[in-house]
Each structure stands twice: as C-alpha cells, then as structure tokens.
Amino acid sequence: MTSPADDKQNNSAPIIEFIDAEIKRGSQTIWSHGNFSLPRGSVTAIVGTNGTGKTTMLSAELGILPLSSGKLNVLGAPAGKNNARIGYVPQNYTEISESNITVFDFVLLGISGSRWGFMPSRKQDREEVNKILEFVRLQEHSYKRIRELSGGQRQRAAIAQALVNKPELLILDEPLANLDISSQNSIVELLSQLNKKMGMTIQVVAHDLNILLPILTGAVYLLDGHPHYSSMNNMLDSQLLTHLYGTKVEIITTPQGDMFVTHNSAMEPSSRTVHDEHLTKDAAQWHSAQQAQARLEANHHNHADSQESQDLQED
Amino acid sequence: MLYNPEWMTVLQTSFVQRAFIAGILISIAAAAVGYFVITRKSTFATHALAHIGLPGATGAVLLGIPVLWGMGLFAIGGALVIGALGKRASDREVATGSVLAFATALGLYFSNLSSGAAKQMQSILFGSVLTITEDQLIIFALFDVILVALLLIIFRPLLFSSLDENVARAKGLPVTLLGIIFMVMMGSVITVAVPAVGTLLIFALVITPADTAMMITRSPLRAIIATFVICLVSIWGGLLLSTIFDMPPSFVIVTISVVIWLVTKAIAAIRK
C-alpha cells in the first residue's frame, strides 16, 4: 500500500524518462541521445517525418523493442514492467476487415484477452465494458461488428479497449490518421476529457499538430536522429517546424488567441513549384452557370476532336 | 452422373459408415482452426501447408511408411517454419507460393520414383474419404480431443494476438509461441482433413465454411460452431449425394461448401 506521502512523490515523478537512450534496428541507428522526461498529467505529441522512429519510440516505451543503450523508465520502472498500467492503441488497430468480432467483444478482450483457459466472461467485466462504451459514446453500436463502424467510431472502439483496464498512461499511434475533421475533433475531445477529468497522461504520435494544439502540453520532435522535447511555450517555433518538415512553416496567432500552424507560400524557397492556392471568389466563379456552359462547350469540342482522331486512326 | 438404385444398401456398408464418422471428426478439426486462420489472415499459408504435405505423403509411400505420417511430418515441419517466421511471414505470398510450387513438384518426383506412390497420388490430391480405416478413425478422435482441449486453453490469448500482435505483446502474451502453436494445430488439422478432400481441395473445407460462418454470426464461438455445422453438412451431404448419384465424393463435398458460401455472400450483398 502507498501512503499519501508516497502518492505525492509519485505524482511529481516523471511518467516517462529517457536517459541517453538509443535504438537500433540491425546495425542502423534509428535515433540516439534521447534525454527527456514527460510529467504526469501531460499530453505530448510525438512529431517527425516518416521513418524517423515515432512508432519505434512507442515500442521502446512498451518494452517490445529493447534499447541498444541508455535507460528508459516508464511509470517508475524499466520499460515493459508496468504495461498493465498502460493503454496502447496502435495505428490502424481496428482495420480488421477479416474479423466478425463485435464492438463489445473487442473491448472485452482488453480485460479477458490475456486470460488463459476457457470460461464465460465475468459480470463485473461486462459492466466495465458497458461503462467504457457509454463513455466513448458507442453503447448503441456495441453489438455491431467492428468492420461495420465508421472510421471515427472504430478509433473510439480501439481507445475503449485500451481504457477498459483503467490505464494511467495512454499511448496512441496516429489516432487521427484517415479520419474526417469532425471525427478528428471528437477524438481530440475524448482525449481532452481523459486528461482533464481523469488526469490521464497521454502520448500521441501525430502528423498534424493543429488539431491537437488546444490540448498539448508539449511535443517530442524526432529530428536529425535525436528526440528533442519542447514544452508548449517553446514548441511552436516556426524555424523548428520548418526544419522538421523540410518545408516552410509559419505560426499564426488569431486575435482570439488561437494558434495554428500553416504552410506559407510567401516563405517558400524559390526552388519550389507554385503552391496551388485560389481565392474563394475565383473558385466560386468556376462553378457559375456561365462558366459551366462554356466548359461544356469546350468539352464537347474536345470530344469531337478526339472522336475525329479516333476515326482517323481506324482508317 | 448416374442414379444408383442400390444406394440404400451402399450407405449401410462399413466403409461408407466410417466415412460418415470421419466427417464428424474432420468437421471438428476444421472448425477449430478455420475462424482463426481467417482472423489471422493466414489463409494462403493454409493452402501452402496442404501442398507442403504432398512430398511427405508420396515420400512415405516410397519408404513404405503410412501416408498420414509422412504428410503430417512435412505439414507440421512447414507449419513450424512459417510459425517461427511470424504472422507477417504467412502473408508473404510470393515466398509461400514458390515454396508451395516446389513442394508440389517434389511430391510429383517422389511419386515418380515408385509405382505405389503414383497410384496413391490421385487420392492424396483429391481425397479418398471412403478408404478411411478404423485405426485412422481412432487416431482422428484422439487428435480432436487434444486439439479442442488445447484450443480451450489458448482461446482468448490466441484471439487477442490474432487481432494485433503488438497489443498482445505489450500485454505480456507470448505472441510468437502462440503463433507457432497455432501453425502446428493447422498443420495437424490439414493432415487429418486431407483424406476427405485431398490437398488440392482442402481450402474449401477448412477456410470456406469458416468464412460463411463469419458472415452469419457475430461472435468467435458462434462462428466456430457454425463452421462445424457447415463442414458437416458439406461432408455428409457430399457422401449422401455421391452415393445416390455415383459421383466422386470430394467433388460434391467441395461443391456444397462453395455453394453455401456463394449463397450466403449473395444474401449478405443484397441485404446491404
């Protein structure tokens, strides 16, 4: 049993701690000199271009992939020791078109999936699953097959399975990939609730920072083969982001105080081809009746031309 | 197709009755693995294992040992290799397909070496459910008991790791070991099911009914029970019709299984 004093100490201790950590696959170093720690209750994005080792970092934290050198402590013990207190949602977890499993059974596996021997599921487990499904707003879909759900609902089902063990740390790999904007927002809203109401520490691998900005407390950048941590204050540095993505990036703060990251064509290097951008007015005009008629005629003309050339070919 | 007026008498012969009993035992074995094969996306590996068993079977005839022993040795050996390579390896279609082709060729070579094996070739490729002996039935029954007991023990962890290896691994499950155990189960099931329809047609008995079952059910356990029923209907129906109309049993068994699958798929498509 932990005394209140211990709890307090635990609360201030970092949830994840990298000490000169390095990961290799074969002889190739994925990243090295990882020195940072993430505090309890933080929401951290892991950012980097493709192939920089974001998923590898998650695998290391779960102890699936050993470090080649250095130390990595998660929840106060070496990585892999405390996995029971971690919820993990891999990328495309619910792209399981081959399975007929229902949402309910899928979430239940989060509890019973590591139990050996065949016995009926326990009542308390089923109640727990129902509670979580209600929380992620999937209770009316609970007897649908996973493959019958929309992308956003699938992602919520995947998160529900991770939540059913009441984790202290939630790790998500690209949870917003392939989702439309409203589904992305609903996932971010869900993460925000988990963090604010339950104090859950969250780590998200992400490509697009914008939608996560309101809930982030910091980010880990995988850059030049090293992870760099920045807190929210230093995170949005356009030079850093530009360096990171290899394209000019600008930070914009609206009068309301919202910030977003944007691609700025005025800042583009001259070598880059023209950025395809149009005024709304212009775009709207293309759809006007007059233009449509003109386009139709042009098409018809083209079509006649191609018909002609086809005829010629046949001769 | 010729109507056999004596079919009632034929059904009462001991070799046909043994075939009916074998139908139950084979259905149990096929149902135990079919659901997981599809969930684990290992369907092609199943197809390959049946063919890897072929040189074992013809080689066994060459050496004068029971066909099923040679078949089992090769199928399980192949299963161990595929299992050790991991779940992703079973998706490597080119590698698996090349090994499959080579194994079939090797099977042909062995059968060429002895006239006995050449005679057996037809029944290994297309099945010979009517030649199953009483001793074989006892072995099948013992095998089913072991298979079902093993499946009951590993059921949930196997299901969990079939959905995603990394999540299961993070939960501390021995994912690689489970993969190897499952592959060995599959290799054994194939060995047992080959007498019914042969190596070439086994897909229709181990995979097709499971896919049908997964279309009509919503839980793994119900899918497995439905697979058993569809398998049994296919084998028994095949035995009955082939006796009445004097057709090769393998042909009718596979036809029933595939027709049930097609009709279910069509109904599912219309409902959508």
Instruction: Report CB contact under 8 Å: A101, B38.
Output: no
**Cα dist from B270 to A16, B214, B218, B264, B267, whole Å:** 52, 17, 19, 10, 5
Q: What is the pLDDT of residue B91?
A: 59
Considering only CB atoms, which chain B residues are within 8 Å of A100? 214-215, 217-220, 223
Query: To the nearest whole angstrom, how far is the Cα of A97 from the nearest Cα of chain B?
Result: 9
Instruction: Report CB contact under 8 Å: B154, A99.
Output: no
Query: To the nearest whole angstrom, how far is the Cα of B160 from the nearest Cα of chain A?
Result: 5
The predicted-structure confidence for A28-46, as pLDDT tens digits, reads as follows 999 999 999 999 999 999 9
Instruction: Report CB contact under 8 Å: A113, B164.
Output: no
Considering only CB atoms, which chain A residues are within 8 Å of B215? 100
Instruction: Report CB contact under 8 Å: B163, A143.
Output: no
- In A, minimum Cα distance to B221 occurs at A101
Considering only CB atoms, which chain B residues are within 8 Å of A88? 166-167, 170
Instruction: Report CB contact under 8 Å: B157, A116.
Output: yes
Considering only CB atoms, which chain B residues are within 8 Å of A91? none
Query: To the nearest whole angstrom, how far is the Cα of A96 from the nearest Cα of chain B?
Result: 7
- In B, minimum Cα distance to A146 occurs at B218
Domain residue spans in chain A?
A: 15-235, 236-277, 289-314
> Cα–Cα distance between A235 and A240 in angstroms, integer?
8
Instruction: Report CB contact under 8 Å: B167, A88.
Output: yes
Can you give the pLDDT of all 272 residues of chain B as single tens digits?
788 888 889 889 999 999 999 999 999 999 999 999 999 888 888 888 889 999 999 999 889 898 889 999 999 998 888 877 765 655 567 777 888 888 889 999 988 888 877 778 888 888 888 889 999 999 999 999 999 999 999 999 999 999 888 899 999 999 989 999 999 999 999 988 888 788 888 899 999 999 999 999 999 999 999 999 999 999 999 999 999 998 999 999 999 999 999 999 999 999 87
Under an 8 Å CB criterion, which residues of B touch A? Answer: 38-39, 41, 152-157, 159-160, 162-164, 166-173, 214-215, 217-220, 223
Q: What is the pLDDT of residue A271?
A: 45
Domain residue spans in chain B?
A: 7-271
> Cα–Cα distance between A47 and A244 in angstroms, integer?
9
Of 1.10.287.3510, 3.40.50.10330, 1.10.3470.10, 1.10.10.10, which CATH number belongs to B7-271?
Answer: 1.10.3470.10
Query: To the nearest whole angstrom, how far is the Cα of B159 from the nearest Cα of chain A?
Result: 7
Q: What is the pLDDT of residue B220?
A: 92
**Cα dist from B272 to A99, A148, B266, B267, B268, whole Å:** 18, 11, 10, 9, 6
Neighbours of A276 (CB within 10 A): 6
Q: What are the tokens at B34? A: 């079919």
Query: To the nearest whole angstrom, how far is the Cα of B218 from the nearest Cα of chain A?
Result: 6
Instruction: Report CB contact under 8 Å: A83, B172.
Output: yes
For chain B, say whether A115 makes contact (Cβ under 8 Å). yes
Instruction: Report CB contact under 8 Å: A100, B214.
Output: yes
Third-level CATH fold of A15-235: Rossmann fold (3.40.50)
List the single best residue of A59, A118, A122 to mutate versus B (max B Cβ within 10 A).
A118
**Cα dist from A108 to A126, A129, A309, B159, whole Å:** 7, 6, 64, 12
Which of B73, B199, B67 has its CA nearest to residue B133?
A: B67
Residue with tokens 């393998």: B250
Instruction: Report CB contact under 8 Å: A96, B39.
Output: yes
Between chain A and chain B, how many beta carbons pairs sit less than 8 Å apart?
Answer: 84
Interface of A with B in 140-179 (CB under 8 A): 143, 145, 161
Residues in chain A: 315
Identify whether the C-beta of residue A67 lies closer than 8 Å to the C-beta of residue A21: yes
Residues of chain A short of pLDDT 50, as ranges, are 1-9, 268-292, 295, 303-315
List the single best residue of B36, B41, B164 to mutate versus A (max A Cβ within 10 A).
B164
Instruction: Report CB contact under 8 Å: B219, A96.
Output: no
Question: DSSP letter string over B174-229?
Answer: -HHHHHHHHHHHHHHHHHHHHHHH-TTTTHHHHTHHHHHHHHH-SSHHHHHHHHHH
Considering only CB atoms, which chain A residues are within 8 Å of B150? none
Which of B205, B186, B190, B189 has its CA nearest to residue B258?
A: B205
Q: What is the DSSP letter of A102?
A: B
ipTM above 0.95, yes or no: no
Query: To the nearest whole angstrom, how far is the Cα of A85 from the nearest Cα of chain B?
Result: 10
**Cα dist from A150 to A39, A130, B41, B54, whole Å:** 34, 20, 22, 44
Quote the pTM value.
Answer: 0.82
